[in-house]
Structures are given as C-alpha cells and as structure tokens.
Amino acid sequence: MTTVNEKELRHNENMNQKDTLILCRVSSKEQEESGYSLDAQEKLLTDYGQHKIFNIVRIFRIAESASGKQVRKIFNEMLQYATKNNVHIILCEKIDRLTRNLKDAATISDWVQENELNEVHFVKENFVVNKNTRAHENLVWDMKVAIARFYANNLSEEVRKGQKEKLSQGWLPTKPPLGYRTIGDKGHKIHEIDGEKAPFIRKMFELYSTGNYSTIALSNAMFKEGFRNRIGKKVGKSRTYDLLRDSFYIGQMKWKGMIYKANHEPLISKELYDRVQVLLSRTLSQPQQSKLMSVFKSKMTCEVCGGTITWETHKGHWYGHCSGYQRLGMKKKCDQRHVFFRQEKIEEQIFPFFDKVTPISNRVLEILEQALKESHADEISRFNTNLNELNATIERSQRRLEAVYEDKLDGKVSVETYERLFKQYTQQKEDAVRELTKLNTGNKKYYEAGYAIHELALKAKEIYNAEKTTDEDRRMLLSYVFSNIPINGLQTKPVYTLAFNFLANWVPKINNILELEKTLANKRQKGTFVPSHPILLRG
C-alpha cells in the first residue's frame, strides 16, 4: 500500500519536472536506413529525458522527404511553441540535427539568451548550450555549427552531382509523374509505364483534346472514371493542369528549366500532346463545358486571321462569327468579324466530308479484318517468335531459381552466391514477364484501333443525326474526325485528323472494290496464299 508520504513525494517530483521538447531529424534515406531513423532518435532522447527527470510535452519530427521550406516551418513552430508554453529545454541528438546554417544557429542563440532557464541538450555530443555557457564552450558551439553547415553544403553538392549524372543517363532523378513507376535497385533506378495509372492518363489527354472540358470538368470526369493519385485521393484542378503540361509523357525530361533526352517509353503521341497545349493556352476564364454550348464551339477558326470562331444564340439558333482580332499580338481587326453564319449551314457543309469516309457496306469490316491479317503476316510471325522466346526465358529462369535453391540446401553454394544468383534470375524472370505483357497488349491494340476507326467512319453521320445523340457526343465525334474546321466568309474547308485523312484516301478504293464485287467484275480464281484484296496491303 502506498503511504501518504510516498504520494506527496511523487507529487513533488512531478512538480519539479521541467517541461521539455524533443526534435528528431533525418536528412537522407541513407540515414534512415543506417540506424539514424526518427524512431531510434526519439527513443534515445526519451530515455535521456526520463533519466534527467524531464517532462516531455511534445515531439517534433522532420522526415528525410521534407523540403527546406517544411524544415524551416517545423523549426519555427518548435520555438514558437516553447515561447508560448514556457518550455525551457530542447533535446536533440546532435548539432547538425538542429541547425545547419548560420541563420538558424543565430535564432537558437537568441532564444537561449532570452532566459537563463533556456537550454539545448545535444545528447550524443554530451553538450549543453545555455546563457551561462563558458567562452570556450561557445567556441565549440560555433565550430560545430560551421562543420554542420559544411556537411549540409557538401551533401547538397553531392546530390546535384548525382542528379546531373542521372540526367546524362537519360533518367529523371526524382519520382516520375502519375502514369509511371520506379523500378530497379538503389543507384540503378529507372522508370516504366504503370499499367494501372497509364490508361487514365491517356484518356485524360484524349478527353481534353476534344475541347469539351475545362480542367475542373476533366478532374471531376476522371474521378468518376476511377482515377486517383498515389494516396488514393482525387486529382484536383491544379494537379490536372500540371499533368497536362508535363512533357515527360512524350519522352522528354524538364529539369531546372532545361530539357533532356529521356530513355523512358512515351505514354502519348507528340501530336496529341501539342493539341492539348494549344487548348491549355486559351485565355478563357469560363469553363469550356456549359449547358448552352454550340456544337462547334472551339472547333472552328477563321481562315483569314486564325482566330477562334465565337458563337451566340438568337431565337433558338446558333450563329458564329470571327472574334475579330488577328493572332500573334496584332491589333488590326479581322475583315471577317461582321460575317455571321448559322450552325445548320455549317452542318450541311461538313456532312459530305462524313460521306467521303463512309464505306458503302458493313462488309468493309470483314474485308478490313482479312486485310489486316494479310498485310501484317510478318508482324504476326515476329510476334510468335518473340512470344516463344519470352516464354522460354521465363521457364529457364524458373528452373535456375529452383536449382540454385536446391544447391543452397545441399551446401553446394554459399549464402552470398545464392542471394546474388537468386536476385539475378528473379530479375530476368520479371523482365521477361513485363515484356510479355507489353507484347500481348500491343498486338491486341493494333487490331482494336484499326477496327474501331473504320466502324466509327461507317456510322459517323448516323451518330451525328441521331435524336438521342447529345451535343457533347457530337462535339466528341467532331474531334475524332476533324483536327480543325477553318472558315472563310460562308465557306468552310474541314481538315481531317490523321486517321480520317487516311480513310479519305482509302475508303474510295474499298468502295470501288465492293462495287466491282456486286457486279462480279472482279470475280477470279485465287491461289491459296494470294491476298484477297492486294490494293489494301500498302496501308
């Protein structure tokens, strides 16, 4: 049973305890992994505080991932907390954990001089700084601050050298943007496409390139699709804008204002990226998506001045006209600014361009499938060869892993040799599996893309005129078919996208073939290995 005297003694001890703060800090991953972790520092300082009968009221931690701005913020918060709550003791592992520049050292010195009770304990160095520190101890303090500063400067220099070397090898010396992931061992880390995030990034660029979305609308749309950042949260407006601006996705690296050649695989085409940059450069304050929006908004330009066509609604009809000013900063007003045209008249002019890429029969899809197989017989052969080689590599690596494991159990190889070979064979197997995934995906996408483009061309006009088709769907369709719709006066000359420009040349040929087949004019005996439609093979 605890006596009254013992209770009073403990109460007096608690009353005599000095409130204390703890600061833990690591500045590199190497320190984190070499016994200098935040948890290890916290335990060391907590044990020291308990030994000194200090009352630890709060612990401040600075992780290796913290930026210079974050370090400064936590440092200031600690001193503000100490002043506001009358805390007079700070515990730190070493001087270079507390300060590495003269400014912070001066701030700590000022705090120490404010009150005779203020002290900083550097536990590992068995050194205490307070107002009564003797002259030669202050000299030691100044020298250790200088050494800590040198260490920080040298560390920064080594980091810059490492970054420069990484850039020269064609790899980004930091974490890649969403859509990529980092693989490899320390000192040999590279970036590859992240199979989970990459499809969302591609779709984000494709949606924005249609001109139907603001960054806010795009952020919301991608969130509904399931797109999340690395911590599982929504990718906001500002971050969406940054991702759309990032040229990393076309195989470039921007570092400190300079562009470097990169070795990573591009995620999107330069054509798509450039189209998105043009749309991002628009100086429009309002979102591009609204309830009242012409089908052709942001789709048409003035052929005379290059300016974007503006659309207005009057008595239930949309009217377009040139915005009035030439591009490239010219002040002269465009001569076409007073020419107005109705949306229905523009539609009448673009429908023939739909007809030009429309096959006359559904049979084109059957011919397409056959032509794709015939024209890419060599690719199919190479695909099968690569497939067999990768499968053989995977099987061979697995056999070697099993064999080296048995050798380890039988004592035929040392632990070091086993670990080295295990790592080597595992890496070979993982590389082969990754290449196999890319091979299967690429082979499939080729056929899917070719078939989808032709199917869209077959039904383009039907989709546009359907009652259930929304204006947003029509805008999306226009983006797939036309890269631009310039107008001069009342006449427009639509420009096809790359895919539909190909169809504009190719579809008349296939329609001619189908017409000949109807009249049996091209009926002839073919050999087993003679292509059924040789005219298609060139494309």
Predicted confidence (pLDDT) per residue in 150-192, tens digit: 766 676 777 677 777 777 777 888 888 999 988 877 767 888 8
465 pLDDT exceeds 50? Answer: yes
Percent of the chain with pLDDT over 90: 12
* Spatial contact of 515 and 360, defined as CB atoms under 8 Å apart: yes
Rounded mean pLDDT, 209-221: 85
pLDDT of the residue at 325: 58
- The answer, yes or no, to whether residue 309 has pLDDT greater than 70, is yes
Which segment of 124-128, 206-210, 363-367, 469-473 scores lowest on mean pLDDT? Answer: 363-367
Of the chain, the end-to-end C-alpha distance in Å amounts to: 96
Tens digits of residue pLDDT in 382-402: 667 777 787 888 888 888 888
- DSSP structure class, residue 93: S
Q: Residues of CATH 3.90.1750.20 domain(s) within the chain? A: 169-290
Mean of pLDDT values over 24-39: 64
Q: Which residue intervals of the chain bear CATH 3.40.50.1390?
A: 4-163
- The pLDDT score that the predictor gives to residue 10 is 44
Q: Which pair of structure tokens corresponds to residue 56?
A: 């630890």
Q: Is the pLDDT of residue 336 over 70?
A: yes
Q: Residue 476: what pLDDT?
A: 79
Domain 4-163 listed as CATH 1.25.40.10: no
User: How far is the C-alpha of 411 from the C-alpha of 405, rounded, in Å?
Assistant: 10
**The pLDDT of residue 55:** 92
Q: Largest Cα–Cα distance of the chain, in whole Å? A: 118
| Higher-scoring residue by pLDDT: 492, 507 | 492
Report the alpha-carbon angle 281-285-286, nearest 5. 115
User: In which band, very low, low, confident or very high, does the pLDDT at 282 lie, cut at 50, 70 and 90?
Assistant: low
The stretch 197-214 carries a mean pLDDT of 87
Tokens coding 185: 């061992």
The residue among 352 and 13 whose pLDDT is bigger is 352
pLDDT, average across residues 218-233: 89
| Strand extents, DSSP E, 87-132 | 89-92, 119-122, 127-130
For residue 200, give both structure tokens: 């969302």
Query: Which range, of 67-71, 87-91, 266-270, 372-376, averages the lowest pLDDT?
Result: 372-376
Give the model's pLDDT for residue 1: 40
Torsion sign over Cα 45, 46, 47, 49? positive
pLDDT grade for 452, boundaries at 50, 70 and 90: low
Sign of CA dihedral 101, 107, 110, 112: negative
d(CA 40, CA 23): 12
CA 483 centroid distance within chain: 26
pLDDT at res. 65? 65
For residue 360, the 8-state DSSP code is: S
Mean per-residue pLDDT, 58-74:
81
Q: What is the pLDDT of residue 132?
A: 82
The pLDDT assigned to 213 comes to: 82
Q: How far is CA 298 from the centre of its chain?
A: 27
| Whole-number pLDDT of residue 34 | 47
CATH topology of domain 169-290: Hect, E3 ligase catalytic domain fold (3.90.1750)
| pTM of the complete model | 0.45
Q: What integer pLDDT is reported at residue 520 of this predicted model? A: 55
CA torsion sign, 66 to 71 to 73 to 76?
positive
